[in-house]
Amino acid sequence: MSAKADCVVLFGATGDLAYKKLYPALHALQERGKLDIPIIGIAREGWSLKKLQDRIRASLTDAGVPDDDEAAKALLKCVRYVHGDYNDPMSFTHLAEAMHDRKLPVFYLAIPPGLFGEVVAALSHHDLTQNARVVVEKPLGRDLQSAQELNRGLATELREEQIFRIDHFLGYEQVQNILVARFGNSMLEPIWNRRYVRRVHIEMSESFGIEGRGAFYETVGCLRDVVQNHLLQLVCMLAMEPPVSMDAQCISDEKVKVLRSIKPLLPENLVRGQFEGYRGEPGVDPGSDVETYCALRFEIDTWRWAGVPFTIRAGKALGRTVTEAVVEYVLPPRQLFQEAHGMIEPNRMRFRMKPDDLIQLSMQVKQPGDQVLTETVDLSVQYGKQLGEAGPAAYERLMGDAIIGEHRLFARGDLVEDAWRVVQPLLDDPPPVEPYFQGSMGPAGAARVLPPNLMEMLSEPQVATTR
């Protein structure tokens, strides 16, 4: 499927996701000349077209788009509105009429996952899915069983190549750059394995809390919210073998192999934390055992990675906001420089997504002077400084890919199920949450699974000039 779609139908057109992410993404595509197709909004509320257009204007204003922006004007002219109850067959009759015989629609389901099945079934009943692309948002299940049920429901009406399971994390420029760094640079491949890599750590710490979303967060927790999807996808990209090609199926094949090679996770592999004050948040159970923090340790039982520890730390209300992956290499076999004070630092390669897009290699050099003293320097590439452009935002990229039928940044059904299979033992038998103070880096018990030198691995990078 590579032809450009001829319309976008947005279910949940009046919701928060559409307001915060999808309308700015559609505007950006329009601005770059990659849209120019009808946008049909459908939602339960009995709105008018004008009210929907006003909401889109407000969304774009909040995103910093000027009132006189030409792309915004063009986007608003493309908008249509269909009022509908998803349980009412007439809603889909009206939708078919509004589509005016469009042959290659994108149906974006920005609605609760519990509605996916009935909406897709109704679209199929009205002969609207034969050539359609259907975008579904996470959460893609709450556990392995529900993910399997969701996939079976979608497969009843759709072919796998019609389904676009969105994970906005895969749209980040730096996440994609991991594959380019690994497979586009011959100097990395010979040392990207257990003989030279000491450990791999993935960090997704956030200094903010749940921001009034207590009722929602009570239904997910950190493990479901970011580890099962975003961070295991990142593990796959760091650990996968070279794909036969950059075709979506080839990439997914290699990711699936990684997930199926992760040794069974036991409760002692996981530390769950909850920040002090969480239970007092609106919508949170006063006796809640939901985790706002996870520290996780595991191994990938393949020829390349056997014996290398992989660790993940993710959480809210921590001491800083940073999302990055750090690959730490083994130390030299002996301390050659006797005048150095203490052990030299190992080489590290860092891929940082937040607060900025950064690739960094830490290495040892000699300090100026008579003595042979070593010092760590960082060779860095920052997208904004070295390359001049940050690239499209995640939702812009993913929406654009769905419109042209590009699957590479979307999750295949078996990949989603295998990610749930990895964490399912931890969902079945979770250890109790351990408290931690807001502004700290999590509970003290996390030291049981995290690297002993984690503070050194995650020290604030210095930005060096790179030519």
Which of the residues are catalytic? 230
Asked if 379 contacts 360 with a C-beta cutoff of 8 angstroms, the reply is yes
Backbone angles phi, psi at 303, to 5 degrees: -60, -40
What DSSP state is assigned to residue 416? Answer: H
What's the farthest any 2 CA atoms get from each other in the chain?
85
Asked if 299 contacts 310 with a C-beta cutoff of 8 angstroms, the reply is yes
* Beta strand ranges found along 17-122 (DSSP E): 39-43, 79-83, 105-109
Q: Which two tokens stand for residue 296?
A: 């996780």
Element (H, E) at 366: strand 358-366
Identify residue 134 by its one-letter amino acid code. V
Residue 79 and residue 329: Cα distance in Å, rounded?
53
Residue 430 and residue 167: Cα distance in Å, rounded?
25
Determine the Cα angle at 139 with ends 149 and 143, to 5°: 50
Asked if 42 contacts 91 with a C-beta cutoff of 8 angstroms, the reply is yes
Please tell me the number of Cα atoms within 13 Å of 52 on its side-chain side: 28
Count of Cβ atoms closer than 10 Å to residue 103 Cβ: 12
Asked if 364 contacts 344 with a C-beta cutoff of 8 angstroms, the reply is yes
Residues facing residue 315 across a β-bridge: 205, 293
Residues facing residue 311 across a β-bridge: 201, 297
Asked if 293 contacts 274 with a C-beta cutoff of 8 angstroms, the reply is yes
Task: Determine whether 241 is exposed, middle or buried from the number of CB atoms within 10 Å of its CB (0-12, 13-18, 19+).
Answer: middle
* Beta strand ranges found along 300-355 (DSSP E): 309-315, 322-329, 348-354
Outline where 340-412 has alpha helix (H). 394-404
Determine the Cα angle at 418 with ends 167 and 393, to 5°: 10
Determine the Cα angle at 56 with ends 52 and 61, to 5°: 145
